[in-house]
Amino acid sequence: MLKITFYELLGMIRNGTQPQKVRISDINFCWDEIYDSYNTSEDGLSLISWMHYAMSDEKLATKECIEIEEEKNE
């Protein structure tokens, strides 16, 4: 399990190398190609909205809180 910051995830999105699934605080978010964002499948909560209400700007910049499962090459 790899942990990254929100800013690292934004860089991956900008480069088009974002993972399909990320996890933060036991909540799973999936990449939505239509909206170009991460959302939960249950209630459509977006990752950006969740982080806006759950963390300060300082934590977003420095805390490695987003988990990425390393994809297996088959």
How many angstroms from the chain centroid is the CA of residue 53? 15
57-73 pLDDT, tens digit each:
666 667 788 899 776 65
Backbone φ and ψ of 47, nearest 5°: -60, -40
10-47 pLDDT, tens digit each:
999 999 999 999 998 888 999 999 889 999 987 888 98
Q: How far apart are CA 6 and CA 58, in angstroms?
A: 11
- List the chain domain ranges: 2-68
- Decide: residue 23, CB within 10 A, 0-12 exposed, 13-18 middle, 19+ buried: middle
Q: In what order do the strands lie in the sheet with 2-4?
A: 2-4, 66-68, 21-24, 27-32, 37-39
